[in-house]
Amino acid sequence: MTWLPPYRHLSETGELAERALALAALATPCRLCPHRCAVDRTAGQRGVCGLPAGAVVAAATAHFGEEPEISGTRGSGTVFFGGCNLRCVYCQNATISQGADMRRRAVTSADDLGAILLDLAGRYVHNINWVTPSHVVPWAVAGLDVAASRGLVLPLVYNSSAYDSIDVLRLLDGVVDVYLPDLRYADDESATEFSGVKGYVAASRAAVVEMARQVGTANVVGPDGTLRRGLIVRLLVLPNDISGVRESLAFLRDAIGTQVRIALMAQYFPAHKAPEEILLSRRTSVREYQRVLDVAERMGFENALVQEMEAQDFYRPDFDRGDEPFADAAQFHGRGTPDGPGEDPR
């Protein structure tokens, strides 16, 4: 029997449209993320994320630089949303996450977003991958409903900073197939200083537990080798132990178990304002990264994805390249070409 993502059933019954409306109600006043800015986005007001009501699509492309079970051989159908609820001083995507340009752009309608998702599917990508969706999720779900009603059947990946509201995540139960949270900090002081967020540790940990409750930690892979359902927790290793990966690993071990798939990321380089920050102005060293790998092994994480240190040179998006910001990552992996569609897998 042909596999269908659960959101298809929700779309057919009308529940996906209802979920989008319930999510939109959380934007007036806005409590879509733990910032709880309480601005009326429907009236055009803006909070920390910088956007009024509506999603802005900054780029949409087949992306080959994600985890192997996300990118596969034909790429992940990635939608980069403009704006962000974090304000990381080292953001690699600052031109789209924090740039004034995104604030001026017209929002993407549900019909247009639906067409974008279907266009990605037409490139034979393995999944739809929402990058930084936390602040635009009502309108992203409305676009998904449009695409689902027109035949979209790809798994949906939710790729966030983990600074997600539990109320929002509960409304995504059965909508999202694969969660890809980035557990960035283990102490609130660092999170506030370097990413402008309050209460990050409790919020992100609660979010990861809710994600695991929804999709489990026993990842399900389809015949093409990519994920149909599951969870991958990313841990970016920042220099000078700013991300506290050891503490985050201990939390994961105790809260959801060591069988969870983790991605230990070595790709940090000082982008955006990081060169002005003493503690963040250099790359992560081989020694710092190796220490994290040793800790993960000692704690019993056997399902860890390890990056090569060369990743620091390749995961550098350039959003001036329009819809193809990651040419280097494609070359790094030697998979596909960023400009051409994948081959028809049928």
Q: What residue ranges bind ligand SF4 (CB under 6 A)? A: 30-33, 35-37, 39, 47-49, 85, 135
Q: CB nearer to ligand SF4: give 11 or 165.
A: 165
Q: At its nearest, how many Å lie between ligand SF4 and the CB of residue 192?
A: 14
Q: CB nearer to ligand SF4: give 27 or 157.
A: 27
Q: At its nearest, how many Å lie between ligand SF4 and the CB of residue 334?
A: 38
Q: CB nearer to ligand SF4: give 36 or 273.
A: 36
Residue nearest to ligand SF4 (CB): 47
CA distance 237 to 246: 10
Q: CB nearer to ligand SF4: give 121 or 206.
A: 206
Q: At its nearest, how many Å lie between ligand SF4 and the CB of residue 86?
A: 9
Q: At its nearest, how many Å lie between ligand SF4 and the CB of residue 153?
A: 29
Q: CB nearer to ligand SF4: give 181 or 239.
A: 181
Q: At its nearest, how many Å lie between ligand SF4 and the CB of residue 134?
A: 7
Q: At its nearest, how many Å lie between ligand SF4 and the CB of residue 181?
A: 16
Q: CB nearer to ligand SF4: give 23 or 249.
A: 23
Q: At its nearest, how many Å lie between ligand SF4 and the CB of residue 83?
A: 8
Q: CB nearer to ligand SF4: give 47 or 143.
A: 47
In three-state form (DSSP H/G/I as H, E/B as E, the rest C), the secondary structure along the chain is CCCCCHHHHHHHHCHHHHHHHHHHHCECCECCCCCCCCCCHHHCCCCCCCCCCCECEEEEEEECCCCHHHHCCCCEEEEEECCCCCCCCCCCCHHHHCCHHHHHCCCECHHHHHHHHHHHHCCCCCCEEEECCCCCHHHHHHHHHHHHHCCCCCCEEEECCCCCCHHHHHHCCCCCCEECCECCCCCHHHHHHHHCCCCHHHHHHHHHHHHHHHHCCCCEECCCCCEEEEEEEEEECCHHHCCCHHHHHHHHHHHCCCCCEEEEECCCCCCCCHHHCHHHCCCCCHHHHHHHHHHHHHHCCCCEEECCCCHHHHCCCCHHHCCCCCHHHHHHHCCCCCCCCCCCCC
